[in-house]
């Protein structure tokens, strides 16, 4: 079988490797000519994952039998569009894909179906002050159709919204932006699979974020299990089922981001994909459910064995795991340690850099500033913390003055605010 994989970053490497192991021919489409996954694929095409017609041409060129993506939002719509156009297997149609990748459509459906979410408005460049009446400041502004926290800013007044409008719009294909109330909260992510309309929640993790100036929501870590698993797990699962029903999601992976604060649970965003915090690598470790294998099989129309989903117990799981996104201070990289040494440490399942020597590390404004990642386990929470600390101690990214640029976010916060009354 031939498959077109949309996206060629480190987040897609595992999928390409697994597809090759299964004997499939893999075509990777990515805007960057030297995307890592292209190096191990059979064919690589320089095409943006946002470009639906360009990817349709690629799919026709190679005569692919399936299209898949994971880890990033916007290619979900591209994959559904291409699959529909070529009558290939698809888990969701392009209408549903549009609803889960365009925040204007998504938020309108939240409102229509009573899904709790922050108060919001969608505005154009020359919006009147009155258009934001009823929305309390501070607010968060977002592009309607981007990913990786690009263009996401926390702002204090209307003047600031106007000042960043064009910058936010630069990450979008639309002419409007989303303005929503900032909700002081902890973030959690819910990952799972939908089979014939039935929702199976596999993991609930704490999504740890940092703020750098106006830039917020930049994920620095995921922790399993969530602090809120037993306190709010039933409510979270029920809400996930309501979302699946409202959006008409019939099959495939789901990845929902939710906010837990003093006013209860609010839905931030939803996606029909495997998450971008390397869930394709770690979900099977903590649940025994190979969600990536299920995705690969579904994308070529093979039946899915749901026995592992049916036997999975969300609330009774002995595993402790953390995915740590590696960030660094701005500077020119002179040298980096070999990640093989980090991977040899206790509890480290995976460790990989996204940057290389000579790269100019940017300011942290969104997820593209990730210098790498580590997946770390522990036999209990204390062991996990020790293993994370040991891994960070082993990391170094040196600038031209031999300064270690690595930011150890475990030293900057206690990870969870524990804001929701439970």
- Mind listing the pLDDT tens digit for each residue in 37-53? 999 999 999 999 999 99
Separation between Cα atoms, residue 151 and residue 144, nearest integer Å: 10
User: Which parts of 102-181 are beta strand (E)?
Assistant: 120-124, 139-143, 153-155, 176-181
Mean pLDDT of the chain: 95
Question: C-alpha distances in angstroms, 130 versus 107, 121, 123, 126?
Answer: 20, 11, 11, 12
Q: Report the pLDDT averaged over residues 237-255.
A: 98
- Classify domain 119-181 at the CATH topology level: Dna Ligase; domain 1 (3.30.1490)
Separation between Cα atoms, residue 357 and residue 36, nearest integer Å: 16
Percent of the residues in the chain that have a pLDDT greater than 70, as a whole number: 97
| Three-state secondary structure call for residue 203 | strand
Range with the lowest mean pLDDT among 118-122, 206-210, 238-242, 412-416?
Answer: 412-416
Residues paired with 375 in a beta bridge? 323, 350
Question: In the CATH hierarchy, which top-level class contains the domain 183-422?
Answer: alpha beta
Of 89, 90, 75, the closest CA to residue 30 belongs to 75
Question: Cβ of 239: how many Cβ atoms within 10 Å?
Answer: 19
Q: Report the pLDDT averaged over residues 89-105.
A: 97
Residue 108 in this model has a pLDDT that exceeds 80: yes
Give the model's pLDDT for residue 418. Answer: 55
- Mind listing the pLDDT tens digit for each residue in 63-90? 999 999 998 889 999 999 999 999 999 9
Give the model's pLDDT for residue 239. Answer: 98
**Residue 407: which H helix or E strand, with range?**
strand 406-407
Separation between Cα atoms, residue 287 and residue 264, nearest integer Å: 27
pTM of structure: 0.95
The token pair that represents 383 in the structure block = 């062991």
Separation between Cα atoms, residue 173 and residue 151, nearest integer Å: 13
Which residues lie below 8 Å from residue 321, measured CB to CB, with a gap of 6+?
A: 223, 224, 282, 285, 286, 375, 376, 377, 378, 384
- Mind listing the pLDDT tens digit for each residue in 133-142? 999 999 999 9
Q: Report the pLDDT averaged over residues 198-203.
A: 98
Of 201, 215, 200, 68, the closest CA to residue 141 belongs to 215
Separation between Cα atoms, residue 270 and residue 117, nearest integer Å: 11
Residue 260 in this model has a pLDDT that exceeds 50: yes
Enumerate the domain spans of the chain: 2-90, 119-181, 183-422
Select 2-90's CATH number: 3.40.630.70, 1.10.287.3510, 3.30.420.40, 3.40.50.20: 3.40.50.20
Contact present, 267 and 120 (Cβ < 8 Å): no
């Amino acid at each position: 079988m031939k498959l077109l994989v949309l996206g060629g970053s480190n987040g897609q490497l595992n999928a390409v490797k697994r597809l090759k192991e299964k004997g499939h021919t893999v075509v990777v489409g990515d805007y960057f000519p030297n995307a890592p996954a292209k190096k191990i694929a059979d064919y690589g095409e320089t095409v943006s994952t946002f470009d639906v017609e360009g990817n349709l041409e690629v799919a026709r060129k190679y005569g692919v039998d399936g299209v898949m993506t994971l880890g990033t939002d916007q290619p979900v719509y591209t994959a559904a569009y291409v699959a529909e156009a070529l009558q290939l297997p698809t888990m969701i149609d392009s209408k549903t894909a549009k609803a889960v990748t365009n925040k204007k459509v998504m938020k309108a459906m939240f409102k229509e179906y009573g899904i709790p979410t922050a108060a919001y408005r969608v505005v154009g460049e020359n919006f009147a002050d009155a258009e934001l009446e009823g929305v309390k400041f501070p607010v968060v502004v977002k592009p309607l159709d981007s990913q990786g926290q690009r263009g996401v800013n926390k702002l204090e007044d209307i003047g600031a919204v106007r000042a960043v409008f064009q910058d936010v719009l630069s990450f979008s294909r639309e002419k409007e932006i989303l303005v929503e109330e900032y909700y002081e909260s902890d973030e959690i992510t819910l990952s799972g699979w939908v089979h014939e309309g039935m929702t199976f929640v596999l993991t609930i993790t704490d999504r740890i974020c940092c703020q750098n100036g106006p830039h917020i929501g930049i994920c620095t870590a995921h922790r399993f299990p969530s602090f809120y698993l037993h306190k709010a797990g039933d409510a979270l699962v029920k809400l996930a089922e309501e979302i699946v029903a409202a959006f008409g999601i019939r099959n495939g992976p789901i990845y929902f981001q939710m906010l837990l604060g003093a006013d209860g649970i609010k839905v931030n965003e939803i996606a029909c994909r495997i998450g971008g915090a390397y869930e394709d690598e770690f979900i099977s470790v903590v649940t025994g459910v190979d969600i990536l294998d299920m995705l690969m099989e579904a994308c070529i129309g093979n039946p899915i064995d749901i026995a592992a989903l049916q036997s999975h117990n969300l609330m009774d799981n002995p595993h402790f795991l953390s995915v740590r996104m590696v960030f660094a201070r701005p500077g020119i990289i002179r040298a980096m340690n070999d990640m093989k040494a980090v991977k040899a440490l206790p509890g480290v399942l995976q460790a990989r850099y996204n940057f290389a020597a000579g790269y100019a590390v940017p300011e942290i404004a969104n997820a593209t500033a990730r210098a790498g990642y580590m997946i770390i386990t522990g036999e209990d929470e204390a062991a996990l913390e020790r293993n994370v600390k040991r891994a960070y101690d082993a990391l170094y990214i040196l600038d031209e003055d031999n300064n270690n640029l690595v930011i150890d976010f475990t030293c900057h916060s206690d990870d969870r605010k524990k804001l929701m009354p439970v």
